[in-house]
Amino acid sequence: MKALGRHIIAELSQCNPDALRSLTKVKRSMVEAAKRANAEIREIKFHRFSPEGVSGVIIIAESHLAIHTWPENEYAAFDIYTCGDTTNPEKAYQYLIEVFEAKKVVITTIERGIEAPTEAYVHRFNPTETIESAPLPSAMSQAV
């Protein structure tokens, strides 16, 4: 059965800590990721913590993108939830991997809103994907 939505959960490790502590860079990168996913942005809210770390959410017509960073651990956690057929969340997470220069990435995809015979909706996990990336191979992040 077709899912109403797709929820991508990503763990980015061994990232550039300077990129993760910059409120401006994190916010601009997330906005650009939403645009690359062909999402319709409705609201944007970000916060920088003291001494470091950034959290933020972008509300899109199709659902949301959210991020939490731990520069001291070179780690970022983000999720992208989209519904409908007009967005491409893979483009968003591929862009963020490059921008934050993540060397190790674990992606889990959950299909959400699958109608079950019990008149309830359920979700289905897809296999977890581990990506080992090289340091920033392209000029994609120069736009940020």
* CA angle, 39 then 136 then 74, to 5°: 85
Residues 47-56: pLDDT tens digits?
Answer: 999 999 999 9
Residue 29 is a catalytic residue = no
Q: How large is the average pLDDT for residues 28-48? A: 98
Write down the catalytic residue from 50, 63, 123, 138. 63
Computed over every residue of the chain, the mean pLDDT equals: 89
CB contact at 8 A, 16 and 100: yes
Residues 47-97: pLDDT tens digits?
Answer: 999 999 999 999 999 999 999 999 999 999 999 999 998 999 999 999 999
pLDDT at 57: 98
Residue 63 is a catalytic residue = yes
| Beta strands, E only, 16-143 | 41-48, 54-60, 63-70, 75-83, 104-115, 121-125, 129-132
Write down the catalytic residue from 83, 123, 133, 138. 83
pLDDT of 100 over the 50 cut: yes
Among 14-23, 79-88, 118-127, the least confident range: 118-127
Write down the catalytic residue from 68, 133, 138, 141. 68
Structural domains of the chain ordered from first start: 5-137 (3.60.90.10)
pLDDT at 24: 98
Residue 83 is a catalytic residue = yes
Task: Provide the whole-model pTM.
Answer: 0.86
